[in-house]
A = this chain, B = another copy of it.
């Protein structure tokens, strides 16, 4: 028989150990609302019910832990995508540095237009022009050099509307969803049309998602050696994986090897990911964030009746499909109590 004192000492050590494991936090949270930034409604209920039924042992919809994969689009789903994808702004901001290294580009389009600083002219750049800018600013350096550059930009760049770092423009309700899924044994993945290496720079800090759980559009790298003979990987202007539309389930298979049981998106680029997710057996969850809150964020897509041809937005056709297939549409205006942590 051990003494009360030693039991208490063991108890304290166990409490410390459990605390270190984050279990106390989880236990404390379980007694309160895991989604405090959500208004009560169909969307919030759908999330709570899905997590409960897939993680309660004995439930007919129980999903074993290794199969608990939830994928999240990033731009427009986890953070603001207007007026322009942050990564595109990064690339435009990088152009002067690229031209300093290659002065011959100063009078060549589309670099000339970007250097002019004329935002309206930049907004009219074609996809071909944008691809030239992306290739010039995202490739040709080592993967480590790219991380340093992108991290430096993220530290200094500010969104024009909120005057805050882009990394603060993440939706608080979705942060709660990420944490709630993880607290229930789900592995959360980003599945973005954006650049895999770009999102990896901040995914851990902003979303609590490690680099290896970022599935994104990826270019090839080339193994080689720097001038001191140190082994390096150089980013190449060759597309390996276009992680958008049908490319999303393909990228998810390549990087994860499992069909997700839950998927979140906000645009026609996410349609196939949601469809693929729902195509598996058992309980499944597909949700689409609808940007219908011009006052607190932006309103676009079916909220504004924009034409379906507008790529990267939530088209009317997607909205109709979601309603028909019982995918849950999240209204930012009605379902979210607040949008940002700083609100």
Contacts and interface: CB of A to CB of B under 8 A. Distances in A.
Interface of A: 4, 7-8, 10-11, 14, 17-18, 21, 23, 66, 143, 187, 196-197, 200, 204, 210-212, 214, 218, 220-223, 230-233, 240-241, 246-247, 249-250, 253-258, 272, 275-276, 279
A253 B279 contact: no
B212 A256 contact: yes
B279 A212 contact: no
A233 B249 contact: yes
30 contacts: A4-B4, A4-B7, A7-B11, A10-B11, A11-B11, A14-B14, A17-B23, A66-B204, A187-B212, A197-B257, A200-B257, A211-B257, A211-B258, A212-B257, A212-B258, A218-B254, A220-B250, A221-B250, A222-B246, A223-B276, A230-B279, A231-B249, A231-B276, A231-B279, A232-B279, A233-B276, A240-B240, A240-B241, A240-B254, A255-B255
A29 B236 CA distance: 46
A21 B143 CA distance: 36
Given A66-B204, A197-B257, 10 more contacts: A14-B14, A21-B21, A143-B253, A212-B212, A212-B256, A222-B246, A223-B272, A231-B249, A231-B276, A233-B250
A279 B187 CA distance: 30
A71 to B, nearest CB: 12
A113 to B, nearest CB: 33
A233 B17 CA distance: 44
Contacts of A258: 211-212
Contact of A7 (B7, B204, B211, B230): B7
A240 B253 CA distance: 13
Contacts of A240: 240-241, 254
Nearest to A144: B259
Contacts of A66: 204, 210
Contacts of A17: 23
Nearest to A14: B14
A21 to B, nearest CB: 8
A249 B232 CA distance: 9
A192 to B, nearest CB: 13
A231 B275 contact: yes
Contacts of A187: 212
Contacts of A249: 223, 231, 233
A70 to B, nearest CB: 13
Contacts of A21: 21
Contacts of A247: 223
Contacts of A256: 211-212
A253 B232 CA distance: 11
Contacts of A143: 253
Nearest to A65: B210
A275 to B, nearest CB: 5
A222 B276 CA distance: 12
B246 A223 contact: yes
Contacts of A218: 254
